[in-house]
């Protein structure tokens, strides 16, 4: 219930902010929403704006959606080790010290998020701390630090925003063409929704391709920060644990493990076998 309320409240806030931006931007640019140029601006504001507002709020949303506890003063040896390891890896990767958090979950997982590579968030599950060795956990942290250092959050948001813009735009252009001469608002709406779904599927294939590509890069980065054998061992541990990721929304893409899909084209993470093979081959 808490996650649903947070999701609804966040989206309402985003829509309100974007509506205000449009009410100022359209008259300032002298654009008519009935023109294609005006339509493109509207789609860009909602497509790009929604993605980047979500990114700016990602740390706040992530901490509350998973109930993460941010470590400020370590309470035990595990928390001290986490802070020290992240601090060492962040310095080695050339980024600012992220916030470090733990969230209660039986799954073996971790994620990183944040709009600023020098003020990110790295969170690990309690299940990871219980079920991984220190070497394996160190490699997972290196993987997440590499995501931050590579700017993956911003890049993925930019790609998603651009694709959202064109999905919204072309769905409405096609609907305008197909419904030319018709006064039925319902027919137009249904056409827009149908083509938005079709174009959205095509766009998701591109987004997931990039997401899989950056997972290979983060694995390589984790191997550099913690050691190749440690990274391989961590991925093999994940492969032996069949529990699927419990993360939701954008956090799935930023976790060390993803969710199953009926085809690899729609997976945010490559199969663990391929990730392990890439590390063993030195890729």
Q: How far apart are CA 64 and CA 206, in angstroms?
A: 29
Query: Taking Cα atoms as reference points, which of 5, 118, 3 lies closest to residue 62?
Result: 3
Catalytically annotated residue among 144, 215, 264, 273 = 144
Q: How far apart are CA 195 and CA 208, in angstroms?
A: 20
Any catalytic annotation for residue 144? yes
Tell me which H or E stretch contains 83.
helix 77-93
**What's the DSSP call for residue 244?**
P
Contacts of 90 (CB under 8 A, 6+ apart): 96, 97, 98, 145, 148
Neighbour tally for 133: CB within 10 Å? 12
Q: How far apart are CA 139 and CA 72, in angstroms?
A: 22
Q: Is 242 exposed, middle or buried (0-12, 13-18, 19+ CB in 10 A)?
A: exposed
Q: Quickly count helices (H) and strands (E) in the chain.
A: 10, 4
- 111 phi-psi bin (left φ>0, alpha ψ -120 to 50, beta other): beta
Catalytic positions are 144
């Amino acid at each position: 219930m808490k996650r649903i309320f947070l999701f609804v409240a966040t989206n309402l806030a985003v829509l309100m902010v974007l509506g205000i931006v449009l009410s100022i931007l359209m008259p300032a640019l002298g654009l008519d929403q009935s023109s294609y140029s005006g339509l493109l601006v509207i789609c860009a504001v909602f497509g790009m704006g929604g993605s980047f507002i979500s990114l700016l709020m990602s740390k706040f949303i992530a901490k509350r959606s998973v109930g993460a506890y941010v470590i400020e003063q370590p309470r035990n040896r595990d928390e001290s080790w986490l802070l020290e390891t992240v601090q060492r890896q962040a310095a080695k990767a050339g980024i600012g010290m992220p916030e470090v958090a733990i969230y209660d979950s039986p799954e073996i997982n971790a994620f990183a998020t944040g709009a600023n590579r020098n003020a990110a968030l790295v969170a690990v599950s309690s299940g990871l701390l219980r079920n991984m060795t220190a070497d394996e956990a160190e490699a997972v942290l290196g993987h997440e630090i590499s995501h931050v250092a590579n700017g993956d959050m911003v890049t993925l948001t930019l790609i998603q925003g651009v694709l959202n813009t064109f999905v919204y735009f072309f769905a409405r252009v096609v609907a305008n063409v197909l419904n030319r001469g018709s006064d039925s608002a319902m027919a137009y709406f249904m056409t827009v929704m149908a083509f938005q779904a079709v174009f959205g599927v095509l766009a998701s294939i591109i987004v997931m391709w990039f997401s899989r590509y950056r997972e290979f890069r983060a694995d390589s980065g984790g191997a550099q920060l913690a050691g190749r054998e440690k990274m391989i061992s961590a991925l093999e541990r994940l492969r032996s644990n069949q529990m699927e990721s419990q993360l939701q929304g954008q956090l799935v893409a930023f976790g060390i493990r993803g969710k199953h899909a009926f085809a690899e084209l729609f997976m945010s993470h490559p199969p663990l076998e391929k990730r392990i093979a890439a590390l063993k081959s030195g890729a």
